[in-house]
Chain A
Amino acid sequence: MSLFLVNVLLALAWSAVTGSFTFLNFAFGFVLAIFALSLIREQVGSIGYFSRARRVISLFLLFLYELVLSAWRVAVIVLSPRMDLKPGIFAYPLRVDRDFEITMLANLITLTPGTLSVDVSDDRRTLYVHAMDASDPDATRRDIAEGFERKIMEAFR
C-alpha cells in the first residue's frame, strides 16, 4: 500500500515538474512511476507490489463484467411479461474478517447479478444477502465464495 502512495507521489511530482495537471499527463506520470519502481524492484521489494497490482486489476475487471451481466439480468427480468420471481434473504458465512474487506465484499455483492447485501451480523461472521432468485442459495453462496471473496483475499492478503 505504501508503494502505491510512492507511485502516486511520483506521478504528482511528474505533473508538477511538467507544469500540467491534466488527467492524461498524470496518467502518463503514473505509468512512468510504475516503470521507475520496476527498475528498483530488487531494492525496495516491490515485486509483491506488481503481482498484487495485477490481482487488484483482475478483481476490478471481474467486477465490471459482473456489473454488466447484472444490469442485463435485471433488464431481462423486468421486461419479461410474466415475472417469475423467487426472491429471498439468505445467510452467507464470511471468510474475510477485516472491516475493510467485509465492506468491499458487501459492496461488490450489491452490484452483482441478482444479489443485494442487507446486513452484517453483530459478530461479523454472517452477511445477509437478498437475492432475486433465492431458490438455490447454495449455488449462489458458492459463486460468491469462489468469485469475489477469493479474489479479495488474493488481492489484499
Chain B
Amino acid sequence: MTEILTLISALLLLIGSVFTLIAAIGLLRLPDLYTRIHAASKAGTMGSCLALIALAIHAHDFGTMSRALAGVVFFLLTAPVSSHLLAKAAYAVGYRLHSSSVRDEMAPEDDK
C-alpha cells in the first residue's frame, strides 16, 4: 500500500515537473506577453498543483495534507486573477498584440 502511494506521488511529481518545465519553455518561445500568460497560468498552475497533490499523498499526517490541499485551492483561486490583471494592465498601457494576431475586438473603433 505504502509502495503504491509512493509510486503515485512520484509519478505526480514527475508530471508536475514536466508541466512546470513546459511553462518555462513556453515563456521563452511564445511571441508576446498575452500568449506567454497562457503558458504561465495554465501549465504553471497545473505543475504546481500536481506537485502539491503529490506532497499531500506522500505526507502521512493530516496537517501537512490539509495544508497542501489548501495550497492547491489557493493556486486555483489566485492564478486566474493575477494573469487576468496582468493582461488587463498590459493592454491598458498599450502593450501591442504580436503581429501574428488575427483579430483584436477590444481595440477602440477608430484604430481598427
Contacts and interface: CB of A to CB of B under 8 A. Distances in A.
Contacts of B29: 78, 83
10 contacts: A23-B69, A67-B45, A74-B23, A106-B84, A111-B42, A114-B38, A116-B38, A118-B34, A119-B88, A137-B105
- Kindly list the 8 A-B residue pairs having the minimum CB-CB distance in the complex, ordered from nearest: A110-B80, A71-B46, A23-B66, A88-B103, A107-B80, A78-B26, A91-B105, A22-B62
Contacts of B79: 110-111
For the residues of A in contact with B, the DSSP-based class is mixed
Nearest to B64: A23
Contacts, number: 131
A79 B23 CA distance: 10
Interface of B: 19, 22-23, 25-26, 29-32, 34-35, 37-39, 41-43, 45-47, 62-63, 65-66, 69, 76-77, 79-81, 83-84, 87-88, 91, 97-98, 100-106
B59 to A, nearest CB: 11
A85 interface: yes
For the residues of B in contact with A, the DSSP-based class is helix
Contacts of A90: 103, 105
Instruction: For chain A, give the interface size range.
Output: 35 or more
A70 to B, nearest CB: 5
User: Which of B31, B45, B104 is packed against the most chain A CB atoms within 10 Å?
Assistant: B104
Interface of A: 22-24, 67-68, 70-71, 74-75, 77-79, 83, 85-91, 106-108, 110-111, 114, 116-119, 128, 130, 132, 134-135, 137
B62 A78 contact: no
Given A74-B26, A116-B34, A134 B41 contact: no
A87 B34 contact: yes
